[in-house]
Structures are given as structure tokens and as C-alpha cells.
Amino acid sequence: MNDIAGQLKQRARELGFDDCRITSAATPEGAGRLRAWLQDGCHGEMGYLERNAHKRVDPQLVLPGARSIVTLATAYSAHGSRRAGTVESSSGGTEASGRIARYARYADYHDVLAQRLKSLTAFLDEAAAVESRSLWYVDTGPLLERELAQRAGLGFIGKHTNLISRRLGNWIFLSEIITAARLTPDDPETNHCGTCSRCIAACPTGAITEPFRLDSRLCVSYLTIELKGSIPEELRPAIGDRIYGCDDCLEACPWNRFARMGSQMKDSARADLDQPGLLKLLALDQPGFKALFKGTPLLRTKRRGVLRNVCVALGNVGDASALPALRAAAEDPEPLIAEHADWAITQIEKREAARD
């Protein structure tokens, strides 16, 4: 299958993937760490991780007869970070802006990568003439994708628990093909973090509790995306102006000096999401929310989740000009939005009183 592996990698490059490596379908070495992490409750409310953990530690339960796993990287960002700032408001003045994680400032990567990944899987099945169909996943399958990617040589897992490529930095999407074809595996990658701990120091909530271990319950990305209910009050100030995800640990990584924009994502950028005005977002009704975020990852968090985050951001960076909008939001029929709007009003009023 040596020739097929080479042909597959060539086809992956033609389709726009920035790297393609192969590993076996053997049990990942991180299986024990996953069990301990789940036992400690570090997954928070992400119950699906516990429900399908048995599959994540045994690829044969994902695809019986699997022999190989193809791992792929798609680079998605090389532009600078966005810090707290203001944008022009509808009234002609300025308003505080919010930050959205880089990966979400594009059309949904699941949709962008799916068709090309489907094409690559069909190419593999035809070339290898496998008896059972191969399966492809874009960040959705029950696989320990970072462990597999490291074993395939795609990159190494950093102390922030994300995959780092020495060629692409850590601004990469991962996807996989699990197949019955017996493909020649690539050499694994070794860790190259050394003594660096910039990502740990950069985390605003201390969610990286030790090197290579993340407590999701403290992570801003979890709090603003995966958590469905109320954000713990003690963590709200650390969220700052972030309204969807957090890039701080990723931005701190020195391997990003090799980061570049991949061809697959280049045409999917949403410039309007680079620095969105918080008051404009808070004014969105359900139709407006769906129209603005159609085809982006933010749509899955729903209006209630995103506007909850907007209220928290305004509570952290807003001024008295935000109070009328927040008072209106405090009357929103969605209790989650109303609760966080009340909190934001209190925070701004405290700052204004201290200033006076």
C-alpha cells in the first residue's frame, strides 16, 4: 500500500489540505489519560465525551476491521489578534466591540472541509479497493484525534492540549479518515514544548491546571460555547470582551511564527465578525441572529448563548451608554439573557459610581 499512501497524500494536497499523515488504528496511548480526565469531571457538561469514551479508546468500535487512520491538517489563520476596542455605532458614536475566536470568523469549518474530505475518502476507497467503507470525520467522530495526529507525525500536543505543527503552528483544523486499508504509517512526532510555559501563563482563568491538562469547567471556550446554562459569576470578569471562544493560549505559542493561511479557508473568511459591536449584537432578535450567523459556528450556540456572552462582555468593558440596551435585555423572555443582563448592569453601575 506504499504507492496508495503517496497517491493519497498527493490527492490531499490537490484538494487543499495543508498536511496529510497516516497512523495505524491501534489503541491511542492517551486512553488512560482520557479516563482519568473524565473521572475528575474535567469535561464539565460535555456528556457526549463520557458516553462515547469507549469508542475513543478503541478505533475498532468506530469501524470494525479498521487498519489505518489518515489524519489531515487545514491551516486557518495567520492574521493578528484582536484586542479590546471600539467600533462605530449606529448613532454615529462608538461602542465597545467583542472578540470571537479566530476559527469562528469563517464559514463553519465542518461545512467547508466536508466535501473535500468526502472526495478524498472516495479516492482512497477506490484506490485501495477496501472491503468495508471508510469513515471520515471533521472534529465530530469518537476518535482521540490529537493523539492520533501526533502518532501520525502531523504535529505534537502542546501544554495547552492543542495540536501544534512545526510547519503550521497551532491554527489548524483536524480531520480524519478511518479505513480498513492497510497503509504504511508515518513516524510519530515528538514533543517540542521544552521549558516553554507561555500558554499556561496566558490562560485568563487558569484552566490549564498543569502542563498537558485542561479543566474545561474553567476554560473560556467551554464557558462561552459548550456551557448551556449560567456562567459562574466568579469567572465572568476573566472572560473580558470575549463573546465566543478564546485564543489566548493559542496566540502565546511561539510555533505560530510558521503559521500561514491555508487555501481551503481563505475564501470563507467573515470580515464582519472580526470586531463586532456588542450593542448591535445585543439588539438581535431571533430572525436577525439567524441571518447574521447563518453558516457559522456561532449558530449552534443559539441566540440565548451568544447574547448571554454579549451581556457578560458588556458587564466587563461597557460604560453607561450600554445601560439602556442592557435594561431592555433584562426584560428578554429568555431567562438566561435576562439574568446576565442584570449582572452586567450592576457591574457598569459600580464602575460609574466609583468613577463619580
- pLDDT tier at 129, thresholds 50, 70, 90: confident
Query: Across residues 265-277, what is the average pLDDT?
Result: 91
Check residue 355 and give its pLDDT: 84
Q: Which long-range contacts (CB under 8 A, 24 or more apart) does 291-300 make?
A: 295/107, 295/108, 295/111, 296/104, 296/106, 296/107, 296/108, 296/270, 297/103, 297/104, 297/108, 297/109, 297/244, 298/100, 298/104, 298/244, 299/108
Cell numbers 478503541: residue: 58
- Outline which parts of the chain fall under CATH 1.25.10: 277-356
Reduce the secondary structure of the chain to three states and give it as a string.
CHHHHHHHHHHHHHHCCCEEEEEECCCCCCHHHHHHHHHCCCCCCCHHHHHCHHHHCCHHHCCCCCCEEEEEEEEECCCCCCCCCEEECCCCCEEEECEECHHHCECCHHHHHHHHHHHHHHHHHHHHCCCCCCEEECCCCCCCHHHHHHHHCCCEECCCCCEEECCCECCEEEEEEEECCCCCCCCCCCCCCCCCCHHHHHCCCCCEEECCEECHHHCHHHHHHHCCCCCCHHHHHHHCCEEECCCHHHHCCHHHHHCCECHHHHCCECHHHCCCEHHHHHCCCHHHHHHHHCCCHHHHHHHHHHHHHHHHHHHHHCCHHHHHHHHHHCCCCCHHHHHHHHHHHHHHHHHHHHHC
Measured CA distances, 325 to 94, 186, 284, 304 (Å): 14, 56, 11, 16
How far is the C-alpha of 25 from the C-alpha of 162, rounded, in Å?
21
- pLDDT tier at 84, thresholds 50, 70, 90: low
* Active-site residue, selected from the candidate residues 40, 139, 285, 319: 139
Contact between 173 and 76 (Cβ < 8 Å): yes
Query: Does residue 36 register a pLDDT over 70?
Result: yes
Query: Does residue 159 register a pLDDT over 80?
Result: yes
Check residue 89 and give its pLDDT: 59
pLDDT digits (tens, 9 = 90+) for 272-313: 999 999 999 999 999 999 999 999 999 999 999 999 999 999
How far is the C-alpha of 139 from the C-alpha of 141, rounded, in Å?
6
Contact between 264 and 74 (Cβ < 8 Å): yes
- pLDDT tier at 87, thresholds 50, 70, 90: low
Check residue 140 and give its pLDDT: 85
Check residue 356 and give its pLDDT: 74
277-356 has which fold? Leucine-rich Repeat Variant (1.25.10)
Check residue 150 and give its pLDDT: 98
Query: Does residue 79 register a pLDDT over 70?
Result: no
pLDDT digits (tens, 9 = 90+) for 131-157: 668 999 998 889 999 999 999 999 999
pTM of the model: 0.93
Check residue 261 and give its pLDDT: 81
Cell numbers 463619580: residue: 356
- pLDDT tier at 80, thresholds 50, 70, 90: low
Report the candidate in 108, 107, 136 with the shortest Cα–Cα distance to residue 20: 136
Catalytic site includes residue 248: no
Report the candidate in 204, 233, 237 with the shortest Cα–Cα distance to residue 351: 237
Query: Does residue 74 register a pLDDT over 70?
Result: yes
Q: Judging by DSSP bridges, how do beta strands 19-24 and 135-137 pair with one another?
A: unpaired
Check residue 160 and give its pLDDT: 98
Query: How far does the chain reach from its first CA to its final CA, in angstroms?
Result: 74
How far is the C-alpha of 21 from the C-alpha of 43, rounded, in Å?
28
Share of the chain above pLDDT 70, in %: 94
- pLDDT tier at 3, thresholds 50, 70, 90: confident
- pLDDT tier at 262, thresholds 50, 70, 90: confident
Averaged pLDDT of the chain = 93
Task: Tell me the CB-side half-sphere exposure of residue 24, using CA atoms within 13 A.
Answer: 5
- pLDDT tier at 260, thresholds 50, 70, 90: confident
Share of the chain above pLDDT 90, in %: 86
- C-alpha cell of 126? 477506490
The 10 Å CB-count burial string (b at 16+, else e) for 195-214 is ebebbbebbbbebbeeeebb
pLDDT digits (tens, 9 = 90+) for 307-343: 999 999 999 999 999 999 999 999 999 999 999 999 9
